[in-house]
Amino acid sequence: MRALVIDSADLTRKRLCTFLRDRGYDVDIADTGEEGVLRAQGFAPAVAFVAQQLPDIDGEQLIQPLTSLGVDTRVMVMADAVELDRAVHAMKHGAEYYFAKPLDFDHVAMILDGVESLQRSSREDAHSRRMDRRKSSRTPTIGESPQIVKVQRLVKLLAQNRTTPVLIMGESGSGKELVARSIHELSGISGPLVEINCASLSEALLESELFGHEKGAFTDAKVLKKGLFEIAAGGTIFFDELGEMPLAIQAKLLKVLDTNLFRRVGGTIDIRSDARFMAATNRDLPQLVREGKFREDLYYRINVLPIKLPSLRERGGDILLLADYYVRLVGESMGRSYMRLNSSVEELLCAYRWPGNVRELRNVIERALILAGSGPIAPDHLPADIRELHPVETGSAENGKLLPLWQVEEEHIRRVLCSTNNNHSRTASILGMSRSTLLARLKKLSPLS
């Protein structure tokens, strides 16, 4: 948890910061009310200790701006002498408690115990509501970013239109198979979902797997074998790594899509297929078409309502949402559902570019849980390439070249989105712009490669 101390008295501030850090808080400090509000907007504290007497303002005037940050900040007022009327007034207007100086840290600890318990329950309730919403939608595309919300809408549309071919494009590890499974399950069809990896089989084996073969069709064909188009009757056949499919098989696949008919290898009878077609690829299909490696007619046949899965680095605050989900999911399987991420770990996760996308994030979380044992997850439990990552200096790129202003601004917007867990209101406040301006800027963000 995070705590902000706003006090110009050095001794009180030093003692309180030491006490809070010993309780496991990340602590930030400010000398004045103006500085305190600015720090709170970026730091998002769970608790703020505010001196009643500050150089520039009465501390009680900070209660409203601190409690309206949208992060459930609890404000503790510290006064040189407690005046009952002022204490009652402050607590009526949103203060959590009113302490007298010098602080009795046993008393402070008792109040914090209650605050921490309430905030923990609030977070767990919010998480349960999010999980219930996800379960009710039966979709694995967890997230609240505009990019993933668009994917969620397409998933529901394609589930309702059961005969439409489904093409899912995205980087390796971005969750293409999970999206295919979600569409299949949401569609309510009774048949199975069968999968085939187009890169793992030779042309001859791929044809036999898809269409089956008659007994005696070739040397090793000692019995009749049904193909996946028959096995998937009334269900879905999912082609993973479609871009690797040989051209000869592409031609036969196109015929099946156009006529719903196929023949087993060595057969003479047409067999009807009602299996739904779904495919996924991390390749650039239009480029493959231009290179003559993918049939143009097949591409246009399946490119009806394509789903383009965003990379994890494009999804802003979804990184922490997914990390929290996997901490709970994997933690429960290990009997440690209480595990949480601290702010230092969250900052490192947000700064990393995730070339392996969601698959990599899950593996990182599982590794961290194993290394943490029964203790808290710390930066030392992350892989070296994440742990040793240093934030890019403003205006400089990873290759040492200076960046144009528009790119610096985009990177900063993404970092702030991640730090606020994709909260648009808080992000707009930190960036010093209106929420409508922020939303307009988000629509114009360039995709990350």
User: What does 75-110 look like in DSSP terms, one character per residue?
Assistant: EEEEESS--HHHHHHHHHTTEEEEEESSP-HHHHHH
Higher pLDDT, 51 or 338: 51
Q: Which residues of 309-328 are buried (b: 16+ CB within 10 A; e: fewer)?
A: bbbbbbbbbbbbbbbbbbbb
Mean pLDDT of 317-324: 86
CATH architecture of the domain formed by 313-391: Orthogonal Bundle (1.10)
The amino acid present at 217, given as its one-letter code, is A
Confidence band (pLDDT; 50, 70, 90) for 139? very low
Q: What is the rounded CA–CA span in Å between residue 151 and residue 140?
A: 11
Q: Is 333 exposed, middle or buried (0-12, 13-18, 19+ CB in 10 A)?
A: exposed
Mean pLDDT of 356-361: 92
Query: Is the predicted pLDDT of residue 135 greater than 90, yes or no?
Result: no
Confidence band (pLDDT; 50, 70, 90) for 447? low
Taking only the tens place, the pLDDT of each residue in 28-73 is 999 999 999 988 887 888 899 999 989 999 989 999 889 887 667 8
Percentage of the residues of the chain whose pLDDT score is greater than 90: 39
Confidence band (pLDDT; 50, 70, 90) for 414? confident
Task: Give residue 364's pLDDT.
Answer: 94
Higher pLDDT, 194 or 434: 194
pTM flag (> 0.85) = no
The amino acid present at 344, given as its one-letter code, is S
Higher pLDDT, 283 or 88: 283
Report the relative pairing of strands 95-100 and 166-169 from DSSP bridges.
unpaired
Task: Give residue 134's pLDDT.
Answer: 44
Q: What is the rounded CA–CA span in Å between residue 109 and residue 19?
A: 9
Mean pLDDT of 276-290: 95
| Neighbouring residues of 277: CB distance < 8 A, sequence distance ≥ 6 | 165, 166, 236, 237, 239, 257, 302
Higher pLDDT, 154 or 83: 154
Q: Specify whether the CB–CB gap between 147 and 357 falls below 8 A.
A: no
Taking only the tens place, the pLDDT of each residue in 163-201 is 999 999 999 999 999 999 999 988 888 889 999 999 988
Tokens coding 366: 């599982």
Q: Specify whether the CB–CB gap between 158 and 305 falls below 8 A.
A: yes
Task: Give residue 435's pLDDT.
Answer: 78
| Neighbouring residues of 206: CB distance < 8 A, sequence distance ≥ 6 | 196, 198, 245, 246, 249
Taking only the tens place, the pLDDT of each residue in 209-233 is 999 988 888 877 788 888 999 999 8
Query: Is the predicted pLDDT of residue 400 greater than 70, yes or no?
Result: no
Find the angle CA(293)-CA(297)-CA(302) to the nearest 5 degrees: 95
Task: Give residue 243's pLDDT.
Answer: 95
Q: How many Cβ atoms are within 10 Å of 120's Cβ, its own excluded?
A: 13
Task: Give residue 138's pLDDT.
Answer: 40
Q: How many Cβ atoms are within 10 Å of 99's Cβ, its own excluded?
A: 19
Q: What is the rounded CA–CA span in Å between residue 184 and residue 277?
A: 10
Q: Is 291 exposed, middle or buried (0-12, 13-18, 19+ CB in 10 A)?
A: exposed
Find the angle CA(42)-CA(47)-CA(52) to the nearest 5 degrees: 100
Identical fold between 2-124 and 146-308: yes
Lowest mean pLDDT among 110-119, 291-300, 365-374: 110-119
Report the relative pairing of strands 307-308 and 166-169 from DSSP bridges.
parallel
Percentage of the residues of the chain whose pLDDT score is greater than 70: 90
Quick one: 2-124 is in which CATH superfamily? Response regulator (3.40.50.2300)
Confidence band (pLDDT; 50, 70, 90) for 283? very high
Q: Which of 53-62, 135-144, 245-254 has the highest mean pLDDT?
A: 245-254
- Residue-range domain boundaries for the chain: 2-124, 146-308, 313-391, 397-449
Task: Give residue 170's pLDDT.
Answer: 93
Task: Give residue 391's pLDDT.
Answer: 46
Lowest mean pLDDT among 89-98, 123-132, 149-158, 189-198: 123-132
Q: How many Cβ atoms are within 10 Å of 358's Cβ, its own excluded?
A: 26
Higher pLDDT, 284 or 87: 284
| Neighbouring residues of 115: CB distance < 8 A, sequence distance ≥ 6 | 46, 47, 74, 96
Distances (CA, A) of 432 to 81, 354, 424: 37, 28, 12
Note the CATH number of domain 397-449.
1.10.10.60
Query: Is the predicted pLDDT of residue 123 greater than 80, yes or no?
Result: no
CATH class of 146-308: alpha beta
297 Cα distance to chain centroid: 35
Find the angle CA(237)-CA(241)-CA(244) to the nearest 5 degrees: 115
| Neighbouring residues of 363: CB distance < 8 A, sequence distance ≥ 6 | 356
Average pLDDT of the chain, as a whole number: 85
Confidence band (pLDDT; 50, 70, 90) for 302? very high
Q: How many residues does the chain have?
A: 449
Confidence band (pLDDT; 50, 70, 90) for 389? low
SS3 content of the chain, % helix, strand, coil (to 5): 50, 15, 35
Mean pLDDT of 342-368: 89
User: Strands of 236-240's sheet, edge to edge?
Assistant: 193-197, 236-240, 276-281, 166-169, 307-308
